[in-house]
Structure 1
Amino acid sequence: MNTETDLAPPAGLVPRYIQANGMEFAYLEALPAVGADTAPLVLVLHGFPDTAWSFVDLLERVAAAGYRAIAPSMRGYAPSEVPENGDYSIATLGQDVLALIEHFGVDRAFVVGHDWGAVAAYAAAALRPDRVRAIVTAAVPHLRRFLLRPSRAQIAASHYIFKFQMPIWPERKIREDDFAWLVDLARSWSPGWIPGDDYLLPLKANFAEPERLKAALAYYRAIPGMFFTRVAWQFLLAPIAVPARVIHGANDACILAHTFSDSEHLFSAGYELVQLADVGHFMNIEAPERFADAVLDFLKRH
């Protein structure tokens, strides 16, 4: 496996539950050895196809550096609640983040997001920059860059997004043959990476529940509608007004490297682009030490 260390959840780390933004969220938490009550809050947000358990290693490293590190299961992902209203809009994802920050009793927090977690981080920073200290996003560029200026190569790489707009077919295809198509898709995004049970078992358990799989697909199915909302054009597609570090893998075959270029003008409070060599889309698992170092270096300066 192309990793620098094995991903193994620490003994005793179990989900906790809170109410935020009108629904129940489950979260994993790692605390510093001292000063937990006053430690800066870092929210770590997962994407697709993924779970909060993929970020246990990062939580532990961030906590060891003196932060309170929390990774929620995103809305619709087990064991968080599936929202009754079926709202998976990007603005709502950002509001989830802001509600979590408020629940944990701090004025501002750092937000680290990967894939859809990165989208939620951008949304939170756009909606309420006063509540977000800084963001570190991984594997997804600014939404304006990704959604409005994709190259032909990026459109081809994003074929799965178009497939996910179809009714019924994705739900059937993904669950066939013990999720073989989904596993192959994830592996194609990180060439050379062979996902292990630490990654796959929580993922399969989540998507084995039809309502959970439908929820994950609903994130993608909500994308077209955002272009018809005022909030998208006023906030989500505007420059980000908090310090930002954007990390991407040089070998990412999901979001191609050139898609991250020419983005400086989309960040008005400071922007750093970091490329990690020899890794793909799932850099937090493929190269956990380098990924954590890239996150912590930025957090310590902000």
Structure 2
Amino acid sequence: MTLHPAPAPSPDARAYFLSTSRGDFAVVDAPPAAGTEPRGTALLLPGFTGSKEDFTLLHGPLAARGYRSVAVDGRGQHESDGPEHDETAYAQRELARDVLAQAGALGTPVHLVGHSLGGQIARAAVLLDHTPFRSLTLMASGPAEISVSQRQRVKLLRDALAVMSMADVWEAIEAMGPPEEVGGPARGIGGPELLRRRWMGTKPAQLLATGLQLCTEPDRVAELAAVPLPFHVLSGARDDTWPLPVLDDMALRLGAHRTVVEGAEHSPNRDRPEPTARALADFWDGSGG
């Protein structure tokens, strides 16, 4: 399979398949910028209907701060393969084990960042085994199930996927206007061609299984708070998926560092990449690099 990376995220970034004990995963891997002191490695997990390209605009500023950033397509997402119709392959525990394998393949303890759905998968991975990680950042990712309005959107998508092809669903989504991240394909970097390609590359079973997870996720904050890692809760100033008071409360319960990126909504990584990257790097610097 040929990778089709978005426009260069940083001069030395490369797209390839990361070989792990649980299969190969499509990644974009951006090393620290030339002349900077290497500070560490970050593994970036995208959200529902998203992909590694959602982090494109973070790679450059993170590289300038000395951080290697590796954005990954999860199992059955965009350019990473997975079963077409077997939803059990996308159980949260299976996806969490994939993350542990990805971290292991990178060969160094990593700062783990999960956006939205990716945050809940990241949390599950940390709860299985925290030792491969130096910190955990939950980006626009809350303590439990998504909001009522977003659960309704996901239900519509799941109902459509039960009776329509991926191509037909895409055409219906386009006809309704610009898609949003939860309940429809996320806006990304690379324009309409990338949006359609990654939608068509994503497996229906992955969307069905992970959509259900978003709508039924239990609150595991107390369990996570017992893990000996530095935590960071980062969000935009407005979020319809997990409202800010919910994220604020989760941060308090975790004893986490809290960042609100002004001018950003559910995807600060795309809405305001420079201050988002700065907040990530500042947190990592403060937690030991």
| Coarse TM-score class (shorter-chain normalised) | 0.7 to 0.9
Alpha-carbon shift at residue 42 of structure 1 (Å): 0.7
Residue in structure 1 matched with residue 3 of structure 2 by the alignment: none
248, 255, 259: which is aligned to 1:261? 248
| Secondary structure of 1:258's aligned partner | helix
**1:134-149 superposed matches below 5 A:** 134-142=135-143, 146-147=144-145
91, 100, 103: which is aligned to 1:101? 103
**1:70-89 superposed matches below 5 A:** 70-83=70-83, 86=87, 87-89=89-91
Alpha-carbon shift at residue 264 of structure 1 (Å): 4.5
Residue in structure 2 matched with residue 278 of structure 1 by the alignment: 263
User: Does the aligned pair in 1 maintain the 2:140–2:234 contact within 8 Å?
Assistant: yes
| Secondary structure of 2:101's aligned partner | helix
Would the alpha carbon gap of residues 294 and 226 (structure 1) be closer, same or farther in structure 2, given more than 3 Å must change? closer
Q: Compute the RMSD of aligned alpha carbons.
A: 3.4
Residue in structure 2 matched with residue 298 of structure 1 by the alignment: 283
Would the alpha carbon gap of residues 93 and 214 (structure 1) be closer, same or farther in structure 2, given more than 3 Å must change? closer
Distance in 1, matches of 2:158 and 2:188, equals 29
Residue in structure 1 matched with residue 48 of structure 2 by the alignment: 48
User: Does the aligned pair in 1 maintain the 2:12–2:30 contact within 8 Å?
Assistant: no
User: Does the aligned pair in 1 maintain the 2:25–2:80 contact within 8 Å?
Assistant: yes
User: Does the aligned pair in 1 maintain the 2:116–2:141 contact within 8 Å?
Assistant: yes
Code of the aligned partner of 1:92:
E
194, 199, 203: which is aligned to 1:212? 203
Would the alpha carbon gap of residues 181 and 49 (structure 1) be closer, same or farther in structure 2, given more than 3 Å must change? farther
Residue in structure 1 matched with residue 8 of structure 2 by the alignment: 9
User: Does the aligned pair in 2 maintain the 1:32–1:65 contact within 8 Å?
Assistant: yes
Would the alpha carbon gap of residues 226 and 281 (structure 1) be closer, same or farther in structure 2, given more than 3 Å must change? closer
| Secondary structure of 2:195's aligned partner | helix
1:162 equivalent to 2:155? Answer yes
Residue in structure 2 matched with residue 58 of structure 1 by the alignment: 58
Alpha-carbon shift at residue 180 of structure 1 (Å): 4.0
| Secondary structure of 2:223's aligned partner | coil
Distance in 2, matches of 1:276 and 1:285, equals 11
Code of the aligned partner of 1:260:
L
**1:226-237 superposed matches below 5 A:** none
Alpha-carbon shift at residue 48 of structure 1 (Å): 2.3
Code of the aligned partner of 2:190:
D
Residue in structure 2 matched with residue 131 of structure 1 by the alignment: 132
| Secondary structure of 1:43's aligned partner | strand
Superposed CA offset, 1:18-49 (max 9, x none): 23242220110111145999752210111123
Question: Normalising by structure 2, what TM-score?
Answer: 0.80
Alpha-carbon shift at residue 55 of structure 1 (Å): 0.9
User: Does the aligned pair in 2 maintain the 1:54–1:199 contact within 8 Å?
Assistant: no
Alpha-carbon shift at residue 161 of structure 1 (Å): 2.7
Runs of 4+ off more than 6 Å: 35-38, 224-227
| Secondary structure of 1:254's aligned partner | coil
Distance in 1, matches of 2:267 and 2:239, equals 8
User: Does the aligned pair in 2 maintain the 1:127–1:236 contact within 8 Å?
Assistant: no
Residue in structure 1 matched with residue 25 of structure 2 by the alignment: 25
90, 93, 103: which is aligned to 2:92? 90
Distance in 1, matches of 2:69 and 2:205, equals 28
Unaligned runs of 5+ in 2: 1-5
Distance in 1, matches of 2:189 and 2:269, equals 16
Identity %: 23
Alpha-carbon shift at residue 196 of structure 1 (Å): 7.1
Would the alpha carbon gap of residues 53 and 77 (structure 1) be closer, same or farther in structure 2, given more than 3 Å must change? same
Distance in 1, matches of 2:193 and 2:26, equals 18
| Secondary structure of 1:208's aligned partner | helix
Alpha-carbon shift at residue 290 of structure 1 (Å): 1.2
Residue in structure 2 matched with residue 4 of structure 1 by the alignment: none
Question: Normalising by structure 1, what TM-score?
Answer: 0.77
Alpha-carbon shift at residue 178 of structure 1 (Å): 6.7
Distance in 1, matches of 2:33 and 2:275, equals 23
Residue in structure 2 matched with residue 238 of structure 1 by the alignment: 223
Distance in 1, matches of 2:135 and 2:154, equals 28
1:201 equivalent to 2:201? Answer no
Aligned residues: 274
| Secondary structure of 1:179's aligned partner | helix
